[in-house]
Structure 1
């Protein structure tokens, strides 16, 4: 499960939930000594990693990966068990996740929100049979989903003053939220899109054709599924099924992870000026790289100015 992260606009000086590490803001739960340990973390030949920025479809992908590995007889762990971030501490324990992973049986599933420059070398430049799934979502819906998630976690902690969208969106655009700039995150990982160790998959594609997405993940993980089993996994991994299961969770944070799960909700929040600012930032960070996103679920088209 993704670690809670917050906007700097919500911070109080005595209880600052964010800290800076090598120019990037991280939640306090991602301790400096954890980040210092990343270059020394040893990957294994058959490790599987799920890489994502918060609120881009992490939990959804983990559910798919856990089901595919389970029905394929490769591993039998729930999405919650494999959703402990590499860079954080195991819930209910003082042991960092990167330490507890040393005792996990192979194949391990490693989950991280880290930018590529901070992950262990075995994940930034994999060798052997290491597999890395990178989950991506259009930046505007990511910002909106992040905004609502942060407000819900604030409410759970007793805050009665909601964050304002205008200030949050500006901070998100400037990379001042936890885990830093999403545009830099995308740019760093997208550099590896031609490397066969990587599978890049978009939230929008999962929404458009979940069956195709599950099949792509299974093929990447070298798991053969017959048509009936494939359909069972798809049925279990629909956004509706996943949201209903999370609503029953005993973990308060998990109950607020899933909201609408739609493409294009950003239109209910963005002004034209804000939309143009996000477009300009995307072009600066990823112009000419071939990466594009769908921003509208209704017709599946991408405005011409957003194709780079």
Structure 2
């Protein structure tokens, strides 16, 4: 198994094992007013992250949990492999050699950043953090960030199923109970609408490209092409098709045993759009509409989300 994938599986297995002996109220801890999972994050790691030195050619994917970061990670790691003249999916590709570290920036031990200084370029990293909690060097050195956003009703729906499938997060007896927590900022990695609002302040920066889950779903080939252009990675038609095929939901779900171990089933559930209609009551839908209107509707990111199209019944 490729090194980074083995690390992924090992880390998740350890975290799940540790979580089993913890009370529900111990599963999350607060750092600078935001909740994080105790078994995969720590205050020591966050402290060490502050002095992390980003490189201008780092490839960074930013997205709130359950907005499609695993999906886009597949696309980006394949593109990096191509930029290094390797074939995506082959043993010699990016995973085997470069991704020595678990790609989520804020997950793992405090010493990981020291080890990351030894990794060759281009380094790939993913984060669920808000921009103000990222290392200053990312913005100072103009590292390029792909910001992935998804309609908030589907994010909530997917997060609900995720919490109930993964022992490292508090589970919920009912959807209503989860919805209350989601709307009152009691989620791991904080409130999604606040996340959008904070990232919106950076939406015009030239080193940031925003893409929506829905647009990748609608036209994966065009999205891959645009992402490759943004990161300055030339692609042949054949390479483009390979990346597109390997990043289909069916293909990723089929390979999830190999790539994500037992965690794969939880991670790749439906991969659809508008699943929220199966859970939201009319009242909950209206509450979300109102909150969206207040926080984010008139902003650049708010408009990009096409809320009326994806979040109105």
Query: Which TM bucket (shorter chain)?
Result: 0.7 to 0.9
Q: Is the 8 A contact 1:53 1:114 kept in 2?
A: yes
Quick one: which of 64, 86, 95 aligns to 1:78? 95
Q: Is the 8 A contact 1:30 1:87 kept in 2?
A: yes
Residue of structure 2 in register with 1:34 after alignment: 45
**Offset, 1:250:** 5.8
Larger relative contact order, structure 1 or 2 (CA cutoff 8 Å, min sep 6)? 2
C-alpha separation between the residues in 2 aligned to 1:55 and 1:254? 14
RMSD: 3.1
Tell me how many residue pairs correspond in the alignment.
289
**Offset, 1:261:** 0.7
1:127 aligns to 2:146 (yes or no)? no
**Offset, 1:39:** 2.1
Unaligned runs of 5+ in 1: none
Normalised by the size of structure 1, how large is the TM-score? 0.84
Deviations 1:156-204 (A, max 9, x none): 99x9x85310010110111111001111111111221111100111100
SS in 1 for 2:166: helix
Quick one: which of 232, 240, 254 aligns to 1:244? 254
Residue of structure 2 in register with 1:102 after alignment: 117
Residues 73-82 or 113-122, more deviating: 73-82
Normalised by the size of structure 2, how large is the TM-score? 0.83
C-alpha separation between the residues in 1 aligned to 2:291 and 2:181? 13
C-alpha separation between the residues in 1 aligned to 2:219 and 2:128? 25
Q: Is the 8 A contact 2:274 2:310 kept in 1?
A: no
**Offset, 1:117:** 1.4
Structure number with higher helix proportion = 2
C-alpha separation between the residues in 2 aligned to 1:250 and 1:278? 32
Counting only pairs closer than 5 Å after superposition, residues 11-160 of structure 1 correspond to structure 2 as: 13=23, 16-28=26-38, 29-73=40-84, 76-78=93-95, 81=99, 84-89=103-108, 96-123=111-138, 125-128=139-142, 130-154=143-167
**Offset, 1:266:** 0.1
Residues 37-46 or 259-268, more deviating: 37-46
Unaligned runs of 5+ in 2: 1-7, 87-92
C-alpha separation between the residues in 1 aligned to 2:257 and 2:55? 34
